[in-house]
Amino acid sequence: MGGWFRKEIKSMDDMKGLKFRVGGFAGLILQRLGVVPQQIAGGDIYPALEKGTIDACEWVGPYDDEKLGFAKVAKYYYYPGWWEGASSGSLFINNASWEKLPKSYQSMIETAAGLVTAWMVPKYDAVNPAALRRLVAAGAELRPFPRPVLEACFNESYKFYDELCAKDEKFKKIFDSLKAFRIEQNLWFRVAENTFDNFNFAMSARDR
């Protein structure tokens, strides 16, 4: 999700000067657009929102956000979180230490890491719908980010990535590979997955 806001976001003008708890690439990109990113630990976000020290925050999604009670102090719940289209866990192990492990141990670690990756996203997909309904029932107001806001963030993101590519050969290698793969995946999803999903959404709206 895009996060919790104390006021409505109708244009990029509403984002200027906004004190927004957000980190990573999102914070760097939004800063270039006039947002003031804030780094605040999870337990400190609610009081900061309540006191008005910050104007908005992003955390994870309905299931995790509900636990922290953000709907009580910032009722506008925006989507999508364009900076994090999905979640992915990472496990880092020193190469030398990894090579010292017995093959059976390496296999167990790989199997466990794969199971966590396979389990995490479906788990959230299963628990988020009910949490979202509860949040709306408690007063949260769902809002899509306006298209001009998304486009401004998209365009600024790619300016930033181009700058990084010009400075960092490793980043360019990874990013170029990602872009090429995504073009193919977007084609496939437009033909099959997206068409199927949109049809199901239409049928669902008819209580089918």
Tell me the per-residue pLDDT of 123-166, one tens digit each, with 9 for 90 and over.
999 999 999 999 999 999 999 999 999 999 999 999 999 999 99
Spatial distance between the Cα atoms of 1 and 58, rounded to a whole number of angstroms: 7
4 three-class SS: strand
- Asked if the model's pLDDT at residue 207 lies above 90, the reply is no
Structural domain boundaries of the chain? 3-167, 169-208
Q: Which two tokens stand for residue 137?
A: 């029932």
Spatial distance between the Cα atoms of 102 and 123, rounded to a whole number of angstroms: 32
Residue recorded with tokens 């999870």: 42
Spatial distance between the Cα atoms of 62 and 129, rounded to a whole number of angstroms: 8
Residue recorded with tokens 């990756």: 117
CA dihedral 172, 175, 181, 186 (to 10 degrees): -140
Average pLDDT in the chain: 95
Q: Which amino acid is at 63?
A: Y
Spatial distance between the Cα atoms of 62 and 60, rounded to a whole number of angstroms: 7
- Asked if the model's pLDDT at residue 200 lies above 90, the reply is yes
Residue recorded with tokens 């690439």: 25
- Asked if the model's pLDDT at residue 26 lies above 90, the reply is yes
Spatial distance between the Cα atoms of 20 and 18, rounded to a whole number of angstroms: 6
Percent of the chain topping pLDDT 90: 91
According to CATH, the topology of domain 3-167 is D-Maltodextrin-Binding Protein; domain 2 (3.40.190)
Q: What is the pLDDT of residue 89?
A: 82
Cα dist from 107 to 101, 115, 183, whole Å: 10, 12, 33
Segment 53-91, tens digit of pLDDT = 999 999 999 999 999 999 999 999 999 999 988 778 889
**Facing residues of 37 across strands?**
20
CB 82 within 8 A of CB 24: no
Percent of the chain topping pLDDT 70: 100
Burial of 171 (0-12, 13-18, 19+ CB in 10 A): middle
Confidence of residue 117 (pLDDT cuts 50, 70, 90): confident
Q: What is the pLDDT of residue 31?
A: 97
CA dihedral 149, 151, 156, 160 (to 10 degrees): 130
Confidence of residue 23 (pLDDT cuts 50, 70, 90): confident
Phi, psi of 8 (to 5 degrees): -70, 145
Q: What is the pLDDT of residue 48?
A: 96
